[in-house]
Amino acid sequence: MQTSPSDRDRKPFRIYTAASLGTAIRHYRKQAGLSQAELAEQAGLHRSYLSALEQGKETEQMRRILRLLRHLGVRMTLEQADW
Amino acid sequence: MQTSPSDRDRKPFRIYTAASLGTAIRHYRKQAGLSQAELAEQAGLHRSYLSALEQGKETEQMRRILRLLRHLGVRMTLEQADW
DNA sequence: CCGTGATGTCGGGATTTCAAGACAGGCGGG
DNA sequence: CCCGCCTGTCTTGAAATCCCGACATCACGG
């Protein structure tokens, strides 16, 4: 079976750094056709924070958790929930 | 092909709350045969923090990011990296 | 050329978070 | 009955974080 066109949008993102998380978030936001302002308001956070997130801003906590998972040999992935 | 015994340890965890993250982390830590103290030291964080994490402690940032993903219809999963 | 929307970026300050270190309880073995 | 180990929990203080509200830039259309 070949990859169907709609499958392209379902490719999972592997998250191992803050940068990859930002890339994924931006991807999904655009796919949803939302601006940063819209999504930020819907999710109840400030637009400047979302902007920084998408650019891969690394916060301490994120670093800590990713480090933890790395030490445990665990992989984190994001993918579109299909329903 | 049937599920082999070793596959049981590879069942992915679906993360949608801080609680499920804690459960997953604890699972993987035990699987690695580490105590909280050992893992905390390896990963460079305090044991009391790891303890709280495993119990599902919700920090603001975690809440924010999980909320964001929920609004985007994105699912987060953790699974053992096989290599 | 002007207006509009989207995004990057900055500073200030209130809030949150985490490390540190201590204490207590549980559990199992010797 | 003691130990040693593991884990949960608390307090404190220092540090990181994020909201807020600007301002700047860029692209686009009218």
Which one of B25, B64, B77 has the shortest CB-CB distance to A68? B25
A72 in reach of chain B (CB within 8 A): yes
Q: Is residue A52 part of a domain?
A: yes
Percent of chain A's residues with pLDDT above 90: 81
Query: How many domains does chain B contain in total?
Result: 1
Give the pLDDT confidence score for residue B6 in this predicted structure: 52
Which one of A43, A53, A62 has the shortest CB-CB distance to B67? A43
Complete DSSP assignment for chain A: -PPPGGGGGGPPEEE-SHHHHHHHHHHHHHHTT--HHHHHHHHTS-HHHHHHHHTTPPPHHHHHHHHHHHHHTEEEEEEE---
Q: Is residue B45 part of a domain?
A: yes
pLDDT surpasses 70 at A5: no
Q: What CATH number does residue A21 fall under?
A: 1.10.260.40
Q: Which of A9, A59, A67, A71 to mutate: most B Cβ within 10 Å?
A: A71
pLDDT in tens, B51-72: 999 999 999 899 999 999 999 9
Q: Is residue A61 part of a domain?
A: yes
Q: Is residue B49 part of a domain?
A: yes
What length is written for chain A?
Answer: 83
- Chain B nearest-CA residue for A78: B76
Give the pLDDT confidence score for residue B30 in this predicted structure: 96
Q: Is residue B25 part of a domain?
A: yes
Q: Is residue B7 part of a domain?
A: no
pLDDT in tens, A24-83: 999 999 999 999 999 999 999 999 999 999 999 999 999 999 999 999 999 999 999 887
Give the pLDDT confidence score for residue A77 in this predicted structure: 97
Q: Which residue range forms the structural domain that includes residue A70?
A: 12-78
Q: Is residue A19 part of a domain?
A: yes
pLDDT in tens, A14-23: 999 999 999 9
Q: Is residue B22 part of a domain?
A: yes
